[in-house]
Structure formats: C-alpha cells, structure tokens
Chains A and B, each alone.
Chain A
Amino acid sequence: MKFLVVLFLALQCAIGVHAKEATPLADDPVVEQRLITIAEELRCLVCQNESLAGSRADLANDLRREVRTLIRAGKSDAEIREFLVSRYGDFVLYRPPVKPTTWLLWFGPLLLLIGALWLLISVIKHNQRQKDTPVLDADKRAKAQALLKETDSSK
C-alpha cells in the first residue's frame, strides 16, 4: 500500500515537471537592445517595483511585444513612451514629466535641502554668537575671583 502511494506521488511529480520554454529573443539584436533601453525606464504595472525590461509578469511580456512591434514600425523612443503613457498614464514612467502636478515631486527634495541648509547655518551662527560673547562680565569675574581666593585662604 505504502509503495503504491509513493509510486503514485512519484508519477505525479514526473507529470508536473515540464520546464517552461524560454521566451525567444527577437531575431534582431538591434531591436532587442533598443527595447531594453526603453523598457528600463518604464514601470511594470503588475509588479510596480520592477522595470518593464526586467519583469516576468505576463502583462510585461505583452507590452514588450507591443514595444518591439513599434520599434520595427520605425517609431521614435518618444512615440513609444507616448503610446504607453496614453494608455497607462504617467505612472509607467520612472521619470515623470515636469508639470504643475509633479512640481512637488521634482522640487520638494530641493526645498527640503534648502530648509535643512538654512537650519544648519542658523544653528552654527547661534553657536558662534554664544562663543564670542564672554560668559562672565568684568563684575562677575571679580566676584568669582574673590570667592575663589576666599576658598583658597580658608584651606
């Protein structure tokens, strides 16, 4: 009985194992090279942290096929990007265009940097001013010395 179960499971494995064929590269290495350059700047919509060039998602495969077709049809890189943006929005671009809705995205880090620099400079200036001003004025210094002498003489 045990043997039969093991045999059955082993057969199941044998049926299940069939390697998926590698997707064929385009015949033309020039097309493929351009595809990779374009697709690396594009986001895969299914696995959003992957580029269209690197993703193995089904949709990425289909989109690469479309891009290949467009390359063969002699479209420029800008036209190919426009093809995808008009369907999927700016989200597919890893470098979104500069326009009012993306100003914060583009210039926000610069604003933060300027803010941080301003803070740094004001802190440094503040510290400098404290260093320059003597901690004790003449009156207080005299009083302190008098006190020190007192303690010395009492020893």
Chain B
Amino acid sequence: MAYLDHAATTPILPVATAALTKELGELGNPSSLHAAGRRARRVVEESREVIAASFGARPSEVVFTGGGTEADNLAIKGLYWNRQEKRPRPRILASSVEHHAVLDPVRWLAETQGADVVWLDVDEIGRVDPQQVHDEIARDPDSVALVTVMWANNEVGTVQPIAECARAAAGFDVPVHTDAVQAAGHLDLDFSASGVDALTISAHKLGGPLGVGALLLGRSVTPTPLAHGGGQERDVRSGTLDTPSIVGFAAASAEAIETRTQRIQAVAALRDDLIAKVVAEVPDASLNGDPRLDSAHRLPGNAHMSFPGCEGDSLLMLLDAHGVHCSTGSACSAGVAEPSHVLIAMGSSPADARSSLRFSLGHTSTGADVDELIAAIGPVVERARAARSRAATAQRG
C-alpha cells in the first residue's frame, strides 16, 4: 500500500499516541476546582504552552476547539458578528480558493446574515494579490468586517502572501483570519510575526489526534461565541476540554516543529522525485499550483497534477485498486466529487478541473510509495482515458 494522502490526514506520531493514551486513563475535568480537576487543568495548560511556543503565540492566545472546521467557523462567524456590534460592517474579504470550512460559513453569512462578500481573485498559480486586499479595504474601510485568506491551499499547495495581506489590512484596523490547517507543523509559521489576528490549526494534519484543533486568537479580537455554556477558553468556546486529545496535540506539535526542517527536506525531495517520475510516465501530465517547489511557495508534500483526457474519479478508483491512496480534492459527505472550485478560480475549465489528482506526502512517506505509484500510473491513465473517450462517444451517439 502507498499512502499518498497525508493532506487528508497523516499518521499519528507515536509520542502523540503515548501522551493521549496515558491521559485517557486519568481522571479530572479541567474546570473542576479540586485536586483531580487541578491535575487535568495543569495538563491542559502545559499543553497550551507547548502549542503556543510551537506556533509563535502566547498561551492566552490559544483557544482549543474540536478541530479545524470549528476553529474556522468560530473565527469567521464569531468575528463577523462581533464586528457588527458598533456599526454595520457587511463586507467580508475572502479568497476564492478557501477550504469549504471557510467558504461555506462565509456563504452562509451572505445568505442569511446580510454579509456582502468580496471574493479575492487568484492568479493562475492560486495566489491572492495583497494589493487587492488593500484596495478593497481602502474603498470603504468602515464597511469591512474581516479578511480571511488561507496560509497554504489544501488542494494545489500554493503558499499565500499572508504577512503582506495582514500588512495591507493593518492600517485599517480590520481583523485578518488565516486557515493554516495545511501549513501548521510543515511551514515556518509564526503567529505573532505574521500579523494576523486569528489562525486555525488542526492537530491531525501534523501528526496529532483527530477531533482537536485550535484557533490562535490575538488578544485584541473577541469573536462572538458559537456555543454558549461554561465559559471555558476565554468565554469564546464553551465545553469541557478534551484533555487527552489536547495533550496528544501538544506532543505532536512539539515533535513536528522539532523535526520540521529535516522532515520537509526529505518530504520535498520525495515529492520532487514523484513529480518528475509521473511526468516521465505520462508526458502530458502537468503540475498545478506554484511551479516554484521550495516551501516558501508550495507545501513540501503537495503534488497536484492534471491528467488530460482522464476523469479524476476514474484515476482514483483505478489507483485504489492498485493500493495507491490519493485524492481528487474535496468530496462531500456522500462521496461525490465536484469540479474543484480552486482550479476553477485559477482559470481551469470544469473538464480540466475534473482531470486532476492530489498526491500528498508526509512523515511516513518513502521511495517505495513513489515507486508503487509510478508502477501503476501509466496503465491507469491509459485506462481512464479510454473510459472517458468511450463515455464521450456514447453521449454523442
């Protein structure tokens, strides 16, 4: 088996499993005042410090959530609502290549809460233009509720000019959120240096457990809570803290940061090899996203490629039968793939957008994984092409 879908989820690190399983056997609600509660609270606070240090934040800036999607929703809806308190600020500036966890809350605010969305354009490699961020705010600064631009794209791997976007907004006192789910643990990421006000992290994308994440939240911003209750996490995210998951998250973060430089070099080298070998097998295959493969421009594990004349769905199914795991991008809960909004925003036609696959490598990837893919890809592409042309003939006939 070749697991080339680390961007979906990456294997949990043994240190995280150890920390998590040990804590599962312990007693204590971190909000309780007695000794058992204090013990659990201590574990949570130590974890908070580790995570804060890992990502350039202060401990008080770490708000634990039930994962990346919740953190994104808290930032987008919470900041939008909070920003309406003094005066109406209907405008949201959002990049057109966001993950659905950002895209859908933004659309929901537009459909039900009167938000007016400015979708930021991207160029053909998927990058937003900080100048557009500046100009859109400058047009009417008081009407802007927030800006949200992801740190690195989950599909094509393009790294966004986040610090420049944050600078463009800074002079206007407009809060900036970034979804850094794909970036955290893999790219050089420093919350305070980035200048953003809110930053989303998901534990399982960096070797931690599923179902836990964090919103790094600057002290000057106070999102309206999504869930009201016991007032945990600065009164922004109520709910009993999940101590085992949080300690696993912290252990994974520390190790991900400690091993980052070496790991991403190895992962990027494998990825470069994968791209070159796929193109050698399938000469008209092409790489989507930023052609500069260094980690300032592209996620080190990401290879998003188009295979002209193929349906991504067919490729995925045929590769799966060969034991190669990859992805077509985003899928909904019933499993039907839509043409990627990311590729469409980058100027692809829907047909081209459907012809692509994402291979994503991570800490357990080896040359053998690449070899397995390379052994299968030629015949698989040929077969998928035959299926597509046959379907096209049938539709014309």
The answer to whether A binds B is: no
Residues of B within 8 A of A (CB): none
